[in-house]
Structure 1
Amino acid sequence: MILLSLYGLIIVAAICLFFFFAKTSVKLTCFAIDFVAVFIYTIYLLHGPVSSKLSSGNMTYFWNVLFGLASIVVYSFLMLLLTIYLPKVSKIINFVIVYFGVGIGICLATDFITSLLSIFNSNIEPTYRLQFLNNDLANDVFYYILFFFVSIPVWKKRMDYLAGE
């Protein structure tokens, strides 16, 4: 009986951990996809030419992370300057960034949910896009409109954060 209870507790903990990772990654992609991209691209671009020449072994990854974090600081400073001095341009750029982030976030959330449901029901296949309409083009247009409407509150929250509110 104790082993059965422990097994059930482990399953509940695994599902809670899965939801935590899913929720965190979806929030990260919706609100900060550009920061993640800057971090990853900096590591990708500076790993060979700079980090591997500064050190060897696992210390190379330390330099990668350090350069990635430094690039995020510089990027966020530039975004704040853009928000202060060119607010209209900043609003447009941030909406485009949020639109792409929400598009990735919705697909990621759909993939997490369908993957979890497929564990419990073998008839459900994991997918990142649900088919709402019979026509593929109409379904794509539906998704783009959905991305637009979900992007508006996320964009407002991001602009409030950049404005310091």
Structure 2
Amino acid sequence: MAGTVSKIIHFHDGEEFIDDIDFALERFSYLASKYGHNPVEGIVLWDSIAVRDEEGIKLFRVGEFPYFRGTLKLDLETLRVMERYFDELESRWDELSVEEINYFVEMLNEALGEERVYYDAYSLGLDRNTAYIIINLVALNYLEGVLDGKDREIFEEAVEVLLKYL
């Protein structure tokens, strides 16, 4: 992707990182809705798992299965198989490694008989407490050049939070 840069970000407190990134992404999304440019093109957390259902791909974090169970459009048997595997992952949360999550996802897909669950953090080289972010420098530069007033403040707040991790 022309004009983009990707980076692995390290953090110590996962919840603080999620709160900070949510803060920045909300602001960038607001600005993108007005100006058509979003500087953050994507982010993958070390524990992000994607699940393909009848509607498309949905992204979740390990430990969120009880919350996403109702949002997935899948047959009951598929959900039950997934629940067994995700319960095992969640029970080992404190000691989970990226390699173990990758192995569980491979076993889960084998049990399902199809590739329905995806885990990109392993192939991206992430470790625990890391994330992979794609930043569109062209969009960042564009917004930097056109914003003023309250929108400029919103932009600067979001950039400041990103810089905390970059």
TM over 0.5: no
Where relative contact order (Cα < 8 A, 6+ residues apart) is larger, the structure is 2
- TM-score for both structures, normalised by structure 1: 0.24
Structure of higher CA gyration radius: 1
> Which structure features the higher share of strand residues?
2
Higher percent of residues as helix: 1
